[in-house]
A and B are shown apart, each in its own frame.
Chain A
Amino acid sequence: AQKITQTQPGMFVQEKEAVTLDCTYDTSDQSYGLFWYKQPSSGEMIFLIYQGSYDEQNATEGRYSLNFQKARKSANLVISASQLGDSAMYFCAMREGYNFNKFYFGSGTKLNVKP
């Protein structure tokens, strides 16, 4: 079974609107971490936001927030007030346990922001 599932290959959003990118995960560990990365066309993966499995509050970083629903094993990324520069691939990832070498990525969602 896949550890990380992103079911939206591509998404469109109007500039200044909010958008939610879906991510579900699969692990039997109680301790894990969830991450979102942005990959512009230049190729570099940029770390956006982190949520620990024991964190009670949803993580927020500026215009990014992570909608963490533990029972559903989902960790959706919400981008508020989309900007043209947000057009990129977005990857959800999971660190299993406290194993820094057990890191899994989803297949990504291509976000296009329309002016």
Chain B
Amino acid sequence: ETGVTQTPRHLVMGMTNKKSLKCEQHLGHNAMYWYKQSAKKPLELMFVYSLEERVENNSVPSRFSPECPNSSHLFLHLHTLQPEDSALYLCASSQGGGSGGRSYEQYFGPGTRLTVT
């Protein structure tokens, strides 16, 4: 596997279900991100992890719970979601921290298309 992978690619869940999204990066990066992409809205940064520590949580509802067990894996645990949470969830990774001069471009996975019924 190369780059950033995400599973599952598609997920349909009821509002009372619990599910998890998985992301894995094979780029040797030390920062990972979750984004939400809804129709006709800019990408919304949800969580940022650097060296397995959460460094950003942009006022995301508690029904979304991230987990980063190591620098290669990132999970998003979902429970009691609402229909408005239906969206494409994108995972990304980059180099993070250190001194200036780096671009820190993010590399994205293919996304999980989530539908909440």
A interface with B by C-beta (< 8 Å): 4, 31, 33, 35, 37, 42-47, 50, 52, 91, 95, 98, 100-101, 103-108
Interface residue from A35, A45, A98 paired with B90 (Cβ < 8 Å): A45
B50 lies within 8 A of A45 (CB): no
Please name 14 further chain A to chain B contacts, defined as beta carbons within 8 Å, in addition to the given A103-B45, A107-B42, sorted by A numbering: A33-B105, A35-B105, A43-B111, A43-B113, A47-B107, A47-B108, A50-B103, A95-B104, A100-B104, A101-B96, A104-B45, A105-B42, A105-B43, A107-B41
Quick one: closest A residue to B58, CB to CB? A101
Smallest CB separation, B6 vs chain A (Å)? 9
B105 lies within 8 A of A47 (CB): yes
**Chain A interface main SS type:** strand
A101 lies within 8 A of B56 (CB): yes
Once bound together, how far apart are the Cα atoms of A43 and B6, in whole Å? 12
- Answer whether A47 and B111 are a contact pair too, CB < 8 Å, given A101-B48, A101-B50: no
Interface readout for B48-61 with A: 1 if CB under 8 Å, 0 if not?
10100001100000
B42 lies within 8 A of A103 (CB): no
B interface with A by C-beta (< 8 Å): 31, 33, 40-43, 45, 48, 50, 55-56, 88, 90, 92, 94-97, 99-100, 102-111, 113
Quick one: closest B residue to A2, CB to CB? B42
Quick one: closest A residue to B92, CB to CB? A45
Contacts of A50 in B (CB 8 A): 103, 105
Contacts of A108 in B (CB 8 A): 42
Once bound together, how far apart are the Cα atoms of A98 and B113, in whole Å? 31
List the 9 closest pairs (A to B, CB-CB), nearest first.
A45-B108, A101-B48, A100-B104, A105-B43, A100-B96, A43-B111, A44-B110, A98-B100, A50-B103
Interface residue from B43, B106, B111 paired with A44 (Cβ < 8 Å): B111
